[in-house]
Amino acid sequence: MNITKTKSERGLNMIKYDDKLKIFKLDTINTSYIFGLDDEAGYLCHYYYGKKLESVDVRYLSRLYDGKYLPGVNARDKNGFSDVAPFEFSTGGIGDFRPHALEIVDKNGSIACELFYDSHRIYEGKEALTGLPATFSNKKGDVQTLEITLKDKILKLAVKLSYSVFSDTDAIVRSVKVINEGSDSVNITKIMSLSLDLDNEDFDLLSLHGSWGRERTMEYRDLGHGFTGVSSQRGVSSHQEHPFIALTSKNITQTEGSVYAFNLVYSGSFEAVAHRNQFDLVRVLLGISPYNFKWELKPGDEFIAPEAVMVHSFKGLSAMTTAFHELYRNHLIRSPYLHKKRPVLINNWEGTYFDFDTEKLVNIAKEAAKGGIEMLVMDDGWFGNRFDDNRALGDWKVNEEKLPGGLKELVRRVNDLGLKFGIWMEPEMVNPDSDLYRAHPDWAFEIPGRDPSLSRNQLVLDITRQEVFDYVWNCVESTLKSANIEYLKWDMNRALCDIYSAGLPADRQGEIMHRYVLSVYKLQEKLITTFPEFLLENCSSGGGRFDPGMLYYSPQIWTSDNTDAGARLLIQEGTALIYPLSTMGAHVSVCPNHAMGRNTPFETRGNVALAGTFGYELDTTKFTDEEREMVKEQVKTYHKYNDLVREGDYYRLASLRENGVYDAWMVKSKDDKEILVTFVLANKVCNVKGRKIKLLGLNEAYKYVDEETKVVYGADVLSNAGILISDMWGDYQSKLIHLTKV
């Protein structure tokens, strides 16, 4: 056993190693994560994750030290050990009958893998994960990393577990690298980025489920015995289930109760599982979906699994949310727009769908300019023979019938009106009815001899192949360079199936789903390095690929095609549970809403969209006089509050999902000077005398004045009694309350 101490280990103190006890202790601001080597063979066992501890020696928590279970003491029953040991990184085939994190098929066809400690290093900062999105250090001293090398001597396999701890957030991130040090190839058939063994504390499982138009809705379920979890096998993180699960205490609130939350920095198929075994031990696993996954690891090769994020709060959901928001704002999103106001945009999709031309767009822009809108985004339909959604994806040449003079002419005219110009593309796709498909039918995913399943009449391009990748990149690059384009909405409108790539042999087809995601990342990396000042908004039929992986490349993602203010309350609640408000694409659209057929007041549509990036998605030439005036007000309101909304601390105050009547949230500036409360009465109840909404996160010694009423409140009253929202007349009424510190 070779235990090394590095220089930085002595310098920084978020990660400590106790040489004598062989214990690693990771301390965030409020939590501790402790694991170590059992003093016999060198298995790495988990001891504790919870509220920050002073104590280090908590080995007894593993229950292995009464001797009964340790293989050296009880060799005749090693199985009894393997099936209860809280392994820090679990493996298959050796008698741990719980689901495990790593499955390696060796040359004999066996899946057994047993990992023992080899060495470790602790260093300041954090190394990048080649080819993958990952969190990073922003300034000296803000991150410390522990890398532990485990080995299976029979397989000649090294497994490096990395843990990074941040000085400014209660999150810990983990990743796994597997290196083949032998002379035979092996296949990885399952690799989870995170394996965590906990004792059950009567947990519920919280997940974010959904559908198109209904993304990321919070849902709780009982954690029974056996498997509970969520997954995507669609090649994208998906509308349906989200790469996030949390174990919560029963009836957790925003401020009370315990939560262990896990999020994967990945945009493809995933699996998130909590398994409760016979002894009420719970194992959490999170990583790439093992479905259709098999990765050949040749001698000398390494495989890096995506990063997983862990957050523990013992003070309810709110502290968990803060930890995720801080991590993503400070250590994940790289865009120059991260801390900037995004231009208020008008997107023509719901306004015109495919039925537009230069004149129509210029007229929309003209009207938009009057209201103070700052950018026109031309959505789907500007290229090839794209008069509807049946054809032309892949043919990224301007349709001059619609746009005579091409993009240059349109963009010039829009710029002359004082607006920036943005464009929509769906680079990963092709329609069978396209020049591209006619020229290269083998470039789309199709299984030889089998008709592929179409979705929206389109197929997915096999960008794992270099020539396809190059074509796609050239289309994106030449489009963006062809005129003064300052924003791109990168869309992706179908899931992956019929997976077969002509680029790899039959026995390596199991690599394609992951290679696809890596190619998406490579394209996006190329995009943001070629156009560093650019504003990128990712999208996937609304919010089908809204995940931390994509946030590494784009500071905002289109949250949902459902722009109904009422439906958005639930979608934005679930999304903001982990993602900062500054990342949520949110627009005002017309009524009756195109997804829901529901009418909501224009003012409320604005107030709900203000919680995100803010913009419009309608035909501005059809505004009523009243709406035209309201737009001016809304744009002013956006400019007034966006710094606060984008940079402040978000707190969920009430949930329509829970109470069925109203929704409320607030944002407080980091310097405590300003608070914005948003209240929406979704379903009016007759004869109610107003409601008290208690604010969160306040320093109770302060006083605040309500800008509208001029009433001065003590923060203690606002926190413990609440602010009074008088009753409103009608469904979907809303109110913004702006409080400033006196």
Contacting residues toward ligand GLA, per CB under 6 A: 349, 379-380, 389, 424, 491, 493, 539, 541-542, 558, 561
Task: List all residues 6 or more positions away from 108 whose beta carbon is below 8 Å from its beta carbon.
Answer: none
Closer Cβ to ligand GLA, 378 or 682, answer by number: 378
| Dihedral over alpha carbons 323, 327, 328, 334 (to 10 degrees) | 160
Residue 21, sorted as left (phi over 0), alpha (psi -120 to 50) or beta, turns out to be alpha
Q: What angle do CA 35, 40, 42 make, to 5 degrees?
A: 50
Closer Cβ to ligand GLA, 571 or 667, answer by number: 571
The rounded distance, in Å, linking the Cα atoms of 434 and 432 is: 6
Closer Cβ to ligand GLA, 349 or 546, answer by number: 349
- Smallest distance from the beta carbon of 660 to ligand GLA, in angstroms? 29
The rounded distance, in Å, linking the Cα atoms of 586 and 606 is: 9
The rounded distance, in Å, linking the Cα atoms of 71 and 199 is: 22
Q: Are 599 and 629 in contact (CB under 8 A)?
A: no
- Smallest distance from the beta carbon of 484 to ligand GLA, in angstroms? 21
* Residue 18: active-site member: no
| Pair of tokens at residue 730 | 């009608």
Closer Cβ to ligand GLA, 136 or 349, answer by number: 349
- Smallest distance from the beta carbon of 475 to ligand GLA, in angstroms? 17
- Smallest distance from the beta carbon of 491 to ligand GLA, in angstroms? 5
Q: Tell which residue, 644, 683, 645, has the closest CA to residue 663.
A: 683
Instruction: Tell the burial category of 699 from Cβ atoms under 10 Å away from its Cβ (0-12, 13-18, 19+).
Output: exposed
For the chain, report the end-to-end CA distance as a whole number of angstroms: 61
The rounded distance, in Å, linking the Cα atoms of 536 and 214 is: 23
- Smallest distance from the beta carbon of 456 to ligand GLA, in angstroms? 8
Q: Tell which residue, 301, 50, 319, 27, has the closest CA to residue 178.
A: 301
- Smallest distance from the beta carbon of 585 to ligand GLA, in angstroms? 9
Closer Cβ to ligand GLA, 313 or 347, answer by number: 347
Whole-number Cα distances in Å, 720 to 321, 674, 694: 21, 19, 6
The rounded distance, in Å, linking the Cα atoms of 189 and 105 is: 7
Whole-number Cα distances in Å, 525 to 44, 132, 137, 483: 36, 10, 18, 21
Q: Are 253 and 316 in contact (CB under 8 A)?
A: yes
Closer Cβ to ligand GLA, 82 or 352, answer by number: 352
Closer Cβ to ligand GLA, 92 or 585, answer by number: 585
- Give 3-state DSSP helix, strand, coil % of the chain, rounded to 5: 25, 30, 45
For strands 703-706 and 712-714, give the pairing. Answer: antiparallel
| Residue in the shown chain whose Cβ atom is closest to ligand GLA | 380
- Smallest distance from the beta carbon of 223 to ligand GLA, in angstroms? 34
| Pair of tokens at residue 32 | 């501790």
Kindly state the DSSP code that residue 379 receives in the 8-state scheme: -
- Smallest distance from the beta carbon of 563 to ligand GLA, in angstroms? 9
Closer Cβ to ligand GLA, 105 or 539, answer by number: 539
Look-up: residue for tokens 């722009």?
563
Kindly state the DSSP code that residue 582 receives in the 8-state scheme: G
- Smallest distance from the beta carbon of 100 to ligand GLA, in angstroms? 38
DSSP string for residues in 594-629:
TTT-----HHHHHHHHTTTT-EEES-GGG--HHHHH
Closer Cβ to ligand GLA, 124 or 561, answer by number: 561
- Smallest distance from the beta carbon of 664 to ligand GLA, in angstroms? 28
The rounded distance, in Å, linking the Cα atoms of 648 and 669 is: 4
Closer Cβ to ligand GLA, 248 or 583, answer by number: 583
Q: Are 178 and 296 in contact (CB under 8 A)?
A: no
- Smallest distance from the beta carbon of 496 to ligand GLA, in angstroms? 17
Look-up: residue for tokens 């990224």?
396
For strands 584-585 and 556-558, give the pairing. Answer: parallel
* Residue 168: active-site member: no
The rounded distance, in Å, linking the Cα atoms of 359 and 402 is: 9
Catalytic entry in 118, 152, 380, 561? 561
Catalytic entry in 204, 491, 547, 663? 491
Residue 251, sorted as left (phi over 0), alpha (psi -120 to 50) or beta, turns out to be left
Closer Cβ to ligand GLA, 124 or 491, answer by number: 491
Task: Give the catalytic positions in this structure.
Answer: 491, 561
